Chains A and B, each alone.
Chain A
């Protein structure tokens, strides 16, 4: 294995007495898609917030490109090349779709004309170019999720954190988004993806990381993980896991 793009060691986050994430370690290689799954409340979004700098970790260490980034602020990490989307999408509703993406493009292209050119390219690739002049508030849910991805992409990230970008889309829209994610992977971007739709996550992920009550209970190839009794127990309960 080459040097990992992201390396997370013993990551722990407590909120008061609650251990939201406990001693989780994993690595992401360049060009790899890691699926992050777990029941509700397992700590998936907390992991996202820790890696993207929205929460400082209580303990543990996060390294990106071999550099310690523990405790760095979200805007520093965005400039370093970690892009993220939000489960509850965060468009700038009073601005146009293009302006939304241009703002992100400033991270790499400080001049307005360059940022706009870059934003147009992103919108072409995510299929939003036809709606560039519309207000972001006027987009459908599918459109907003695409906008969310477009903004993260405008940062030209090496690592992309996607939080439920497929959930809530109809099958056609979902297939388009999956195709887009695979294209991004092929272009060399590493992706950490949280998704509840198993069909999606099992198909696109190179490895799956399973969390339960903030702890890592399994990590491996999709086929291995689904056979892991711990995982079955977490999802379906004790009895199901005992069956052969």
Chain B
């Protein structure tokens, strides 16, 4: 069974590595590269939502921060692209640390609202600062090499997937974050410091998102607050993760592939109706929550965690005390 899994993983990675050889069409590579990126955003969003039980409505801010760090370092300080990526990740991680201090004390919907507001604040900041170019955004030197970005995105997302899989499914850390998701007060009685673990999870979800943002900036060559700091980045990653199945890594991966494929098809063939895409996205999330709360993967495998995670993460009336009645 284990060998079979390893074989499949090997075949998939080999297939992806060889893909540009057989399908060198730049448009096709560009789409697959973007699929990788969204897989990365969806799985890192799920670290907080599905594993830790906190719906982060500001995940896109980490992506945007990473994009701006790369752009600023390359354009204003003349750094080489490769050197900017670790900094993009670290700055996104530091942003998570700062944002987490006040927001990770909040529970349920309050956390969701606070992170959404913080992401808006970051977008506003990029609009008014000089160093970010304000609303005009920033232009990066073009590097037109689709295969380079294909392999870079593939490497980063595969590495992120492997790291998250190890930390969340194999290492003690995974069980600790799940304990917090299931019952924070109960976890405390077992020697788990919820603040530390939640902060680690938040930073863990932010760093890869920041690096993805950095790659995106150099790839697309133009960023502005309306693109890399837009709500839609969080929203789309969220829909992908929820649709695919929360609380797993495979679920968001499947969700990202399917939703992005749909989006591409829709934009390519129904370009006149682009505005409909957002409406459809909203419909998908609403219908998923109501009819498919465990997501596609959860429904297929019978993993019923998604429904409970959603219900808990959205509730506003969780007990703040010890959660028990006095006798």
Contacts and interface: CB of A to CB of B under 8 A. Distances in A.
Interface of A: 20, 40-46, 49, 52, 54-55, 73-75, 78-79, 83-84, 86-88, 90-95, 99, 102-104, 106-107, 110-112, 115, 151-152, 154-155, 164, 194, 196
9 contacts: A78-B191, A86-B322, A87-B327, A91-B183, A103-B192, A106-B172, A106-B190, A151-B190, A196-B327
A73 B188 contact: yes
A46 B189 contact: no
A112 B326 contact: no
Contacts of A20: 326
A78 to B, nearest CB: 4
B175 A95 contact: yes
Interface in B158-194: 170-172, 175-176, 178-179, 181-183, 185-194
A88 B323 contact: yes
Contacts of B76: none
A40 B324 contact: no
Given A41-B327, A103-B179, A92 B191 contact: no
A84 B178 contact: no
Interface in B175-222: 175-176, 178-179, 181-183, 185-194
B86 interface: no
B135 interface: no
Which of A43, A49, A106, A194 lies at the interface centre, i.e. has the most chain B CB atoms within 10 A of its CB? A106
B40 to A, nearest CB: 25
B182 A92 contact: yes
A106 B178 contact: no
Contact of B191 (A42, A43, A107): A107
Nearest to B197: A75
Nearest to B187: A103
Interface string B64-93: 000000000000000000000000000000
Given A40-B327, A55-B322, A104 B172 contact: no
A99 B325 CA distance: 27
Nearest to B190: A104
Contact of B172 (A46, A95, A112): A112
Given A49-B322, A52-B189, A78-B191, A103 B327 contact: no
Contacts of A110: 172
A23 B35 CA distance: 64
Given A75-B193, A103-B187, A155-B190, A86 B324 contact: yes
Given A55-B322, A90-B186, A155-B190, A44 B176 contact: no
A165 to B, nearest CB: 13
Nearest to A55: B322
Contacts of B185: 54, 90
A155 B179 CA distance: 15
- Chain A to chain B: the 4 pairs with minimum beta-carbon distance, closest first: A90-B186, A107-B191, A92-B182, A78-B191
Contact of B183 (A40, A92, A194): A92
Nearest to A93: B182
B285 to A, nearest CB: 22
A103 B193 contact: no
Interface string B288-315: 0000000000000000010011000000
Given A92-B178, A115-B172, A46 B190 contact: no
